[in-house]
Amino acid sequence: MTGLFMKKSLVKNIKELGPALAILLSALVISTFITEFTFTFGFNAIWKTFFRFLRLSALLCLPILFLPRICSFMAGILNRRTRQLLQVQEERDIAIRPLKSWILRPLQGIGLSMLIATKLLTALQIYTQSRITVDTVLPPGQFNPGRFLTATAIAILVSLLLSFLWTLDDLGVRHYNKKTHEVKMIGKYIGLILPIFFGFYGIITLFDENSRLMAVQYIAQMVIVLYPPFVVFNVFHARYLANREENLLRRLRAATGVILTDRKEAAIAKA
């Protein structure tokens, strides 16, 4: 019985992480046997690719453990006066879905990472009064402590921000105005569209000295490097919500209710 359960769990994990594993293994084979890909080549690509994947996945997933404290902190900000966090049961969705979990959210995370990186590079350029070149963006051939710390900080920041916004979205938590009976989503579209657009656009502008084809190639490699860890991050986040939903809702001090068809009123029942 235990062996059957473990087998089903393994199959489920492989299925949920399927796209990430496929991209990771494809990049590994190409980088090892065919040509330089994802900024590495040869047999060194085997351990470098796996180590980079595990490091980025850990940096994205570990901050989720601080999610209860973040919810407690944000509850004091979002639950004020006539404002109340409300869980709408009909909009609750913590399942792993292909479009959301394998396409939209990984792109959201990659775009937000690139957006933050672009802003940091712009600030660095202003501070040093020197132009940022493509060499500043691409991974170096050897370990660079400054770049490592910067990448770590960006990954942790992105993880904390997205994990909180995804929690509100997946649990169906909305911002309810007791006076006007208006129910609003919190950061759903801003958190999805803007990072993807401005993040990718910002990175493209750093390659203006290169051909468009070369710029697209570099950015595609960055996406391939970041895509598997962000899929792992999204799946781990969904699993965490499934096991900690009641605790997170309690931390958020969210009431429970249902939005009526006219979406202007809500019937609220305290949990």
Which two structure tokens, joined as six digits, stand for 263?
Answer: 């979406």
Residue 106 lies in a domain: yes
Question: H helices of the chain, where?
Answer: 2-16, 18-29, 44-61, 67-78, 105-128, 134-137, 145-170, 190-205, 212-252
Residue 23 lies in a domain: no
Residue 21 lies in a domain: no
| Structural domains in the chain (count) | 1
Q: Tokens 């084979």 appear where?
A: 29
pLDDT in tens, 178-233: 777 777 776 554 555 666 666 666 666 666 655 666 667 777 888 888 999 999 99
Residue 64 lies in a domain: yes
Rounded-to-integer distance, Cα 24 and Cα 124, Å: 32
Q: Which domain holds residue 107?
A: 54-269
* Spatial CB neighbours of 112, under 8 Å, sequence gap ≥ 6: 158, 161, 162, 191, 195, 199
Name the residue with higher pLDDT: 170 or 269: 170
Residue 40 lies in a domain: no
The closest alpha carbon to 166, from 94, 87, 90, belongs to 94
pLDDT in tens, 81-111: 888 888 888 888 999 999 899 998 998 898 8
Residue 182 lies in a domain: yes
Query: pLDDT value at position 6?
Result: 45
- State the pLDDT confidence band at 176, using cuts at 50, 70 and 90: confident
For residue 117, the one-letter residue type is: A
